[in-house]
Structure 1
């Protein structure tokens, strides 16, 4: 998960960056004033922003939060020394996911980040249990793995297969196990990119290397995925042919 830090106190910014890295997240930038913060926000599209309220320059953290939310709704956690009612009331109008008063423990920051991500991207009907569950965002999935939410961009998915009551999402780097039916997962995939090749397989068409029509297999990243006879004709029709 990509996190933008907006903090004008150098020592505290370093501490926040260290906390974020220790928690296993990625810092895409540290800004001490509004102009740089807006540039980093536009360039990196962070998943979450840790925002100080009192910043260098004309823009406050509250001003930035309004600008960011106007461009793209993004979870924001305010981190500030101000604990007065007036500042809190103004900050609350921007819809932050947490309001932390300095100093605070790393564990509290971790909980705030995880809750912010869950509330921002989770399907309201989803209920976590001891198994991994998929969370839908607009262009990616968040898969719960123990105490972390791992982001999978849709274009990173090579293929999906069914095994018993589980769906296996395959990427180039690893495999994710979801307790979800293939039919339910297919509803959350872009039908212009993903196609069913077999009753138990869905593939990313842009990642297909070749198709062996005699052996009824589709090769993706060096792996052969079955091409069912019942799906072959419809699958071929949807390919751009020369």
Structure 2
């Protein structure tokens, strides 16, 4: 299997070199390095990397957010910001580009590993699950039904965000809303096994597709912080790196 190829857009040469070394140690291939937006866009068009790491402050007329907008418009390449710029105005601009991740400097090798792993995993899922596939030929084993009052509602596995223990019940958080299941979290875990889910804590199961950030003792799905037990952290990192 070929190594994922990552392009680095960073205006400080020492930082760019350090990122490149970290990525190679993690098993990735460097698709190229640039310090300005124009050069980066030309290189990305030629190299077609699997992922781009983008600093916001760059040499030249374009900043990293401008470059990200062009990447989103012209190429099917996910990108992760690696920057020290995290003020409210900058974050508002960043959010509009819909990045695959956001790393605040100073970063660690673990920050790079987790964010890149998640970004590549999400990109691979989009590649194998076209938007129209469920509408044209839905799979019978890609979903299940839950009872909500007098209705049965179909829940697709990919739409589940996370599951939360409630004594002998489980609250299922999905993109459609919240549902209470009359099953323990252990039973739900057995049902979700092999579908891209992981029980990261005795009280939580998460869908790896929706994990946005992994920290030493927790992860984020959107703005929600979910604890990660020490015993499950190694398994989580193993799965992320595997993808």
Give the TM-score normalised by structure 1.
0.53
Q: Secondary structure at 2:68's aligned position in 1?
A: helix
Tell me how far 1:145 sits from its aligned partner: 8.0
Tell me how far 1:83 sits from its aligned partner: 1.5
Distance, in Å, in 2 between the alignment partners of 1:42 and 1:7 is 17
Instruction: Count matched residues.
Output: 137
The equivalent residue for 1:102 is 105
The structure richer in helix per residue is: 2
The equivalent residue for 1:13 is 16
Bigger Rg, which one: 1
Tell me how far 1:128 sits from its aligned partner: 3.3
Output aligned runs, 1:194-205, within 5 Å: none
Query: 5+ unaligned residues in a row in structure 1: which ranges?
Result: 131-143, 150-242
Instruction: Give CA deviations for 1:73-132 in whole Å, capped at 9, x if unaligned.
Output: 3211001111211101101100101111100111111000010111122156572379xx
Q: Are positions 1:23 and 2:117 aligned together? A: no
Q: Secondary structure at 2:14's aligned position in 1?
A: helix
Distance, in Å, in 1 between the alignment partners of 2:101 and 2:27 is 20
Output aligned runs, 1:35-184, within 5 Å: 35-122=38-125, 123=128, 127-128=195-196, 147-149=241-243
Distance, in Å, in 2 between the alignment partners of 1:29 and 1:147 is 21
Q: Which runs of 4+ in 1 moved over 4 A?
A: 123-126
The verdict on how the C-alpha distance between 1:117 and 1:146 changes in structure 2, with shifts beyond 3 A counting, is: closer
- TM-align CA RMSD: 2.3
Distance, in Å, in 1 between the alignment partners of 2:239 and 2:94 is 32
Distance, in Å, in 2 between the alignment partners of 1:53 and 1:146 is 26
Distance, in Å, in 2 between the alignment partners of 1:110 and 1:14 is 16
Query: 5+ unaligned residues in a row in structure 2: which ranges?
Result: 130-141, 143-157, 159-194, 199-237
